């Protein structure tokens, strides 16, 4: 059995969500953790987790929301988390400097507030970090009790090792199957015991469906690639990454 530890599920992207869940099961992807990371998608994700037993949640505000989210919204987020047993983590939260650095201090403050919430509620975090490795690591280190995973990791071996050393798993998705990806080096260096699988659907579909709309049902393509890289049977990849996800997100 597989767990997709990070994806997005919304009526905007999928006409028939019953079908998505059914197709996931046919591919042995029996649990998925969807992320709501804007006001609207948090509400929609909560409703989907209510409806489908297989769907779990992480909720938290993406760094791109830093400018519009108020302290009242963050209080509401805390309530939404406290009142829902299917919320298994906070995220995706983090830093994104890709589109410029003019709001860097605002982003950092916003990230710290949500890390504080994770610490207070004793929940793992799902980290979005883009062009912001140094600041991400230094803020994570301010919260040594908090663990989580680095969603859609794309950095160096050294960076991956730092994250692992401070208690984080590395989220590996479709990018690992791309022709020019160097992620195999990271995977060889950190080992399967530090990896969780994710699709980030509807984005970043793996080869051989690259360019199409992604879905959790494609997780086996990612597992096959890891099996090839590490020379470990795919059943073992499934077992270990599922255990990693169950432990990190307390899915028992
Ligand atoms: Ni995502």
Which 3-state string (H, E, C) describes the chain?
CEEEEEECCCCCCCCCHHHHHHHHHHCCEEEEEEEECCHHHHHHHHHHHHHCCCEEEEECCCHHHCCCCCHHHHHHHHHHHHCCCCEEEEEEEEEECCCCCCCHHHHHHHHHHHHHHHHHHCCCEEEEEECCHHHHHHHHHCCCCCCEEECCCCCCHHHHHHHHHCCEEEEECHHHHCCCCCHHHHHHHHCHHHEEECCCCCCCCCCCCCCCCCCHHHHHHHHHHHHHHHCCCHHHHHHHHHHHHHHHHCCC
Largest CA distance in the chain: 50
Predicted confidence at residue 101, as pLDDT, reads 86
Distance 197 CA to ligand 1 centre (A): 13
Predicted confidence at residue 246, as pLDDT, reads 98
Distance 235 CA to ligand 1 centre (A): 26
Q: What is the pTM of this model?
A: 0.97
Distance 35 CA to ligand 1 centre (A): 7
Distance 53 CA to ligand 1 centre (A): 21
Distance 173 CA to ligand 1 centre (A): 11
Q: Give dist(CA 124, CA 156) in Å, integer.
A: 23
Q: Give dist(CA 109, CA 131) in Å, integer.
A: 17
Predicted confidence at residue 216, as pLDDT, reads 98
Distance 19 CA to ligand 1 centre (A): 21
Distance 100 CA to ligand 1 centre (A): 20
Distance 126 CA to ligand 1 centre (A): 9
Distance 141 CA to ligand 1 centre (A): 22
Distance 36 CA to ligand 1 centre (A): 9
Nearest to 168 by CA among 90, 114, 248: 248
Distance 92 CA to ligand 1 centre (A): 7
Ranges under pLDDT 70 in the chain = none
Predicted confidence at residue 214, as pLDDT, reads 98
Domains defined for the chain, CATH in brackets:
2-249 (3.20.20.140)
Predicted confidence at residue 252, as pLDDT, reads 75
């Amino acid at each position: 059995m597989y767990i997709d530890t990070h994806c997005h599920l919304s009526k905007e992207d999928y006409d028939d969500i019953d079908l998505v869940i059914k197709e996931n099961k046919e591919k042995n992807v029996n649990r998925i953790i969807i992320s709501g990371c804007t006001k609207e998608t948090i509400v929609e994700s909560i409703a989907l987790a209510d409806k489908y037993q297989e769907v779990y949640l992480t909720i938290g505000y993406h760094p791109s929301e830093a400018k519009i989210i108020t302290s009242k919204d963050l209080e509401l987020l805390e309530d939404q988390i406290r009142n829902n047993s299917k919320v298994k983590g906070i995220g995706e939260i983090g830093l994104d400097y890709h589109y410029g650095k003019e709001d860097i201090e605002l982003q950092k403050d916003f990230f710290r507030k949500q890390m504080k919430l994770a610490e207070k509620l004793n929940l793992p975090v799902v980290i979005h970090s883009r062009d912001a490795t140094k600041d991400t690591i230094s803020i994570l280190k301010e919260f040594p009790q908090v663990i989580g995973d680095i969603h859609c990791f794309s950095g160096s071996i050294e960076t991956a090792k730092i994250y692992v050393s401070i208690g984080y798993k590395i989220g590996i998705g479709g990018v690992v199957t791309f022709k020019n990806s160097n992620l195999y080096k990271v995977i060889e260096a950190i080992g399967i015991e530090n990896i969780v699988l994710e699709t980030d659907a509807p984005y970043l579909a793996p080869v051989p469906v690259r360019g199409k709309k992604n879905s959790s049902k494609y997780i086996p393509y990612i597992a096959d690639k890891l099996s090839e890289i590490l020379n470990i049977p795919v059943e073992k990849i499934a077992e270990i990454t599922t255990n990693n996800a169950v432990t990190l997100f307390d899915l028992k």
